[in-house]
C-alpha cells in the first residue's frame, strides 16, 4: 500500500501515513463515539513513526487518565486517539482520510457498547470489547 493522506474538514490540518495500517475497525465504544458525535467510528492503527502531520497543528485533549485525542480547533474534526500504554501506536479516524474507501473496516470492536438501534449485518467479525491482539493479530506491530 502506498502513502495515505488525510486531514480535517477545513483542511487546516493535513497528515501522511507512510507505514502499513492495521486494526481497521468500526468502534462502538462510547469513549470514542461521543467526541465525534457518531454512533460508530471508523479507526485504523499505525506505528507513530508512520504518521506525520504535514501542515497545521492539532489541539490535544486529555480525554481520560490513559488516553489523548487530537483534533482541529477550527472545524472540530477528530484526527487521532492514543493510549498511554501503547506510546508507539496512533489510532487515526478513517473518515479523515482523503480516500476512506482505501481502508475498509475488518471488524467491529466494543459492540457491548453498541447503540441498541444500530443493527449490524455486514458479516464482519464482532468483538464484545477490544479485539484479541495476541498471536497473528499482533504481527503488524513487528514490521
Buried b (16+ CB within 10 A) or exposed e, 25-55: bbbbbeebbebbeeebbbbbbbbeebbeeee
pLDDT of residue 34: 61
Residues 71-99: pLDDT tens digits? 999 999 999 999 899 999 999 999 999 99
> Considering the domain 4-136, what is its CATH architecture?
Beta Complex (2.170)
- Kindly list the averaged pLDDT for each block of 10 residues, start to end, along the chain of length 143: 91 97 88 68 94 97 88 95 92 96 92 86 88 48 34
Q: What are the extents of the domains in the chain?
A: 4-136
Other beta carbons less than 10 A from residue 109's beta carbon: 24
pLDDT of residue 32: 57
Best CA proximity match to 44, nearest among 100, 82, 92: 92
pLDDT of residue 142: 33
pLDDT of residue 143: 32
Query: HSE-up of 67 (CA within 13 Å, CB side)?
Result: 14
Cα(92)–Cα(123) distance, rounded to whole angstroms?
Answer: 23
- Which residues, other chains included, contact 49 with Cβ-Cβ below 8 Å and sequence gap of 6+? 19, 88
Full-model pTM? 0.85
Q: Return the C-alpha cell found at 65.
A: 487518565
Percent of the chain predicted with pLDDT > 90: 56
pLDDT of residue 135: 39
Amino acid at each position: 500500500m502506498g502513502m495515505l493522506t488525510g486531514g480535517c474538514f477545513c483542511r487546516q490540518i493535513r497528515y501522511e501515513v507512510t507505514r502499513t495500517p492495521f486494526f481497521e475497525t468500526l468502534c462502538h465504544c462510547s469513549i470514542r463515539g461521543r467526541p465525534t458525535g457518531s454512533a460508530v467510528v471508523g479507526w485504523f492503527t499505525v506505528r507513530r513513526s508512520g504518521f506525520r502531520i504535514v501542515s497545521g497543528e492539532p489541539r490535544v485533549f486529555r480525554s481520560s487518565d490513559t488516553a489523548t485525542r487530537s483534533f482541529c480547533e477550527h472545524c472540530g474534526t477528530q484526527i487521532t486517539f492514543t493510549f498511554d500504554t501503547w506510546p508507539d501506536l496512533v489510532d487515526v479516524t478513517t473518515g479523515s482520510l482523503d480516500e476512506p474507501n482505501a481502508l475498509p473496516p475488518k471488524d467491529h470492536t466494543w459492540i457491548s457498547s453498541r447503540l441498541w438501534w444500530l443493527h449490524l449485518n455486514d458479516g464482519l467479525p464482532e468483538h464484545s470489547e477490544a479485539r484479541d491482539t495476541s498471536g497473528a493479530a499482533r504481527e503488524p506491530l513487528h514490521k
